[in-house]
A and B are shown apart, each in its own frame.
Chain A
Amino acid sequence: MSQSTPPGTTRVQGTGATGARTTRTFEYAPGEVDRDDPLHGEFMELNMGPQHPATHGVLRIKVVLDGENMVEVEPVIGYLHRGKEKTCESLGWRKFFVHTDRLDYVQPLMNNCAYAMALEKLGGIPVPERGQTIRVLLMELSRVMAHLIYLGTTSIDLGAVTMFFFTFSERERIYTLLDAYTGHRMNNTYVRIGGMYADIEPEVAREVRKWLDQFPAKIDEFEAMLTGNRIWFDRNRNIGILTVDQCKEWSLTGPNLRAAGMEWDLRKKQPYSGYEHYDFEVPIGTIGDCYDRYAVRVEEMRQSVRICQQALDRLEKTRGAEFISDDRRYVLPPKGLVHSSMEELIHQFKIVTDMALPKGEAYHATESSKGELGFFVASDGTSHPLRCHIRAPGLMNVQAIPVLAEGRLFSDMVSIIGSLDFVMGEVDR
């Protein structure tokens, strides 16, 4: 192409579905669309509304289309804003655990653990090893659950309906395990400050191991359906390419950053909850397109299985050990003692009515399935939290949609949204 690009115009190169490169010149700067100018043809403003099967929750995207090309993309969020940060200030540290489940509701236990760890950092409360191991097991199970949702929903959005049923069938198996351990399928709220609510029983651990043994074969089935699939490849390859620098500019972490090529995983770089004792690998992509993000997440599921197996081995070795701290300023005493001992009764009363964390601020970041999930907690020494800010990776993922989508074909929007992977519960809080 020997044409030079005149000032004020942008040459955008689209990639056709079969890899053929087409060039189309848009004669306006991105973001400045003069819709009244008749020379530019008609732009259609389309609203991918808050209720849409492919927006993974209540996300609204205002798209200005020039034919099939997206000219302007503006995500609008806030349709699920439930006021969680304000709720934390009203309720108190302990009661907010229940709300943390509902943040990224496809991986409830991960959010619980992240919040508990932030509070433990603020209060300087050590967690016993068995508690940490159970947390690792649950966090990795949550990661698998979240990636299964990603696979299932992205596939069904792109037309591969069977994947939805396969992944949800596996999710049901994990739900059964969690139901046996925590009593609830999802939104379990099983983590407490200082450890876990209750210990994991050997029968449940055995069932988890049985599931872990058969799950890698299931991942092979998913890969057999998608990885070499021509349609999947065409809809995801070279679409939504993010470079490492772009990821850093846009605060993207997690699988999005790793697919771009950077080896950054908080479980390895800034380990918490005993992750330094586990042997696992961190998958990294090459180009940073939707296909790489898919491959990274599938491989992460395999690595999570490895971690879970190691966690179960450690649990067998530490059977009978403490799973929750015994710091009676923050941890409820066992009920039998509450009913029989005066001191424990007073502890119970104090914790339930006005538990205060020491004055100060703390931030703890965990590696969730979407990126860096962190809780910034600030306390002024009273029983009322001063501030609890939830650093949600989904917010940054949503922010990156225009970066990837502008200039592309509209059907790529679905691939991009699916591959960026966000959950509106944590985006809107």
Chain B
Amino acid sequence: MNTVGLTVGLTAERIASALGGIAHESMTMRDGCPSYRIAPEQVIAVMTALRDRAGFDTNVFVTAIDRFPEEPRFTVAWAFLSTTHNDRVRVYTRIPGENPAVATITGLWPGTAYSERECFDMFGIDFVGHTGLKRLLMPDGYDHFPLRKDFPHQGIEPDRLYREWDQRRRDRSPLRSESQA
């Protein structure tokens, strides 16, 4: 399988020395990837340390897990890749379900803009400092957060926005073929 596991010990040392005094809790993962849990307030500090001191030069994904009805409800997960040292790391944090918010890392990696927008779109997590945090996959007027566990799979009134648009289209169209069918 992956040879990542062979360097896990070295990775952990490097990350520990890069993070220095910032509180982080090491987690064991089923795929052997070095993973750490941090406090939500430490996000920028930890990511900056990982990028500048530990050599993790690219972000792989930013995603969230909804653990409803546990509190804190959301787990936000970041994954990074170091092309220079050929290893990966994942960073987790837990944020509450009421007004979930976490700092943005678009200042460090502009490429996380879409991933954070997607988390906002799907879970409603606010990324503080993200310019242009709007919906990515769902239409702009949509008022639910689909990937939350209390949202049904088939959706709530999925055709509402289309029907409103359709009504406006019929109202302004002079053609019978467009206004009635």
Contacts and interface: CB of A to CB of B under 8 A. Distances in A.
A-B interaction? yes
B59 A251 contact: yes
Interface string B150-175: 01010000000000000000000000
A360 interface: yes
Contact of A395 (B67, B115, B151): B115
Interface residues of A, number: 49
Contacts of A372: 60, 81
Contacts of A386: 65, 67
A90 B153 contact: yes
B153 A87 contact: yes
Contacts of B77: 361, 376
A391 B61 CA distance: 6
Interface in A75-104: 77-78, 81, 83, 85-87, 89-90
Interface in B107-121: 109-115, 118
B90 A363 contact: yes
Given A78-B138, A81-B137, A270-B3, A248 B31 contact: no
Contacts of A83: 146, 153
Contact of B60 (A89, A391, A399): A391
Given A78-B138, A81-B137, A85-B147, A361 B30 contact: yes
A282 B138 CA distance: 38
B60 A270 contact: no
Main secondary structure of the interface of A (DSSP, over half): mixed
Contacts of A89: 149, 153
Contacts of A90: 153
A61 to B, nearest CB: 14
A36 interface: no
A251 B109 CA distance: 8
Nearest to B63: A389
Contacts of B33: 362-363
A32 B153 CA distance: 39
Interface in B23-81: 29-31, 33, 35, 57-61, 63, 65-67, 77, 79, 81
Contact of B114 (A121, A358, A399): A399
Given A85-B147, A378-B65, A269 B86 contact: yes
A267 to B, nearest CB: 11
Interface in A346-398: 358, 360-365, 372, 374, 376, 378, 386-387, 389, 391, 395-396, 398
A122 interface: yes
Contacts of A251: 58-60, 109, 111-112
Contacts of B118: 395
B181 interface: no
A264 B60 CA distance: 14
B114 A398 contact: yes
Contacts of B66: 387
A165 interface: no
Given A81-B137, A250-B111, A272 B2 contact: yes
A77 B117 CA distance: 12
Contact of A389 (B58, B61, B113): B61
B84 to A, nearest CB: 10
A376 B153 contact: no
A361 B61 contact: no
A272 B65 CA distance: 26
Nearest to A253: B58
B83 A264 contact: yes
A409 interface: no
A262 interface: yes
Contacts of B147: 85-86
Contacts of A262: 83
Contacts of B153: 83, 86-87, 89-90
Nearest to B70: A380
A121 B146 contact: no
A159 interface: no
Contacts of A391: 60-61, 79
A252 interface: yes
Contacts of A276: 3
Contacts of B30: 121-122, 124, 358, 360-362
A203 B86 CA distance: 41
A279 interface: no
B4 A363 contact: no
B112 A248 contact: no
A271 interface: yes
Interface of B: 1-4, 29-31, 33, 35, 57-61, 63, 65-67, 77, 79, 81, 83, 86, 88, 90, 109-115, 118, 122, 135-139, 146-147, 149, 151, 153
19 contacts: A78-B136, A86-B153, A248-B58, A249-B109, A250-B111, A264-B83, A270-B4, A272-B1, A361-B30, A362-B29, A374-B60, A376-B79, A378-B65, A387-B65, A389-B61, A391-B61, A395-B115, A400-B111, A428-B137
Interface of A: 77-78, 81, 83, 85-87, 89-90, 117, 121-122, 124, 247-253, 262, 264, 269-272, 276, 358, 360-365, 372, 374, 376, 378, 386-387, 389, 391, 395-396, 398-400, 428-429
Given A361-B29, A372-B60, A391-B61, 17 more contacts: A81-B137, A83-B146, A117-B1, A124-B30, A247-B58, A248-B57, A249-B109, A251-B109, A252-B111, A264-B83, A276-B3, A358-B30, A361-B77, A365-B88, A386-B67, A395-B115, A398-B114
